[in-house]
């Protein structure tokens, strides 16, 4: 048991849309990522996804609307809901999801980081 300084860990995150594992609890991954520009449309058929915005403003596009998530806010995306995150400026994000969940969900793209290749902080 040791506390984790999130801002220090964000300083070690390389690249955008590339999650880094910072902690694990109860079969969940706590991942840090820096975001900028558009991601890919995807969904997670078997699990919800939790986004916590530490810095910046994140727009999450859904097929029927957009949701703005500001610094200090969180958003839970229910399983099976297709979405595409976008950040006009850099966003620092904490993502909490099941350990076996790939950040691009059911979509494979050149942005997909395999779980076993995810950097650990």
Note the pLDDT tens digit of each residue in 56-90: 999 999 999 999 999 999 999 999 999 999 999 99
pLDDT of residue 109: 87
**CATH number of the domain bearing residue 67:** 2.60.120.10
- Has residue 70 been placed in a domain? yes
Report the predicted TM-score, pTM, of the whole model to 2 decimal places. 0.94
13-36 burial: b if 16+ Cβ within 10 Å, else e: beeebbbbebeeeeeebbbbbbbe
- Has residue 97 been placed in a domain? yes
User: pLDDT of 4-62, one tens digit each?
Assistant: 999 999 999 999 999 999 999 999 999 999 999 999 999 999 999 999 999 999 999 99
Instruction: Look at the chain and report how many structural domains it folds into.
Output: 1
What DSSP character marks residue 10? H
- Has residue 46 been placed in a domain? yes
Segments forming the whole domain that contains residue 56: 6-117
pLDDT of residue 91: 98
């Amino acid at each position: 048991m040791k506390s984790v300084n999130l801002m220090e860990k964000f300083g070690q995150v390389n690249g955008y849309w590339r999650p880094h594992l910072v902690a694990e609890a109860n079969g969940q991954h706590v991942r840090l990522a820096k975001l900028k520009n558009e991601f890919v449309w995807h969904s997670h058929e078997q699990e919800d996804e939790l986004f916590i915005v530490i810095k910046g403003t994140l727009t999450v596009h859904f097929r029927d609307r957009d949701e703005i998530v500001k610094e200090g806010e969180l958003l839970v995306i229910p399983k099976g809901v297709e979405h595409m995150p976008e950040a006009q400026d850099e966003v620092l994000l904490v993502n909490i999801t099941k350990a076996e969940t790939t950040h691009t969900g059911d979509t494979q793209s050149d942005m997909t980081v395999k779980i076993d290749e995810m950097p650990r902080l």
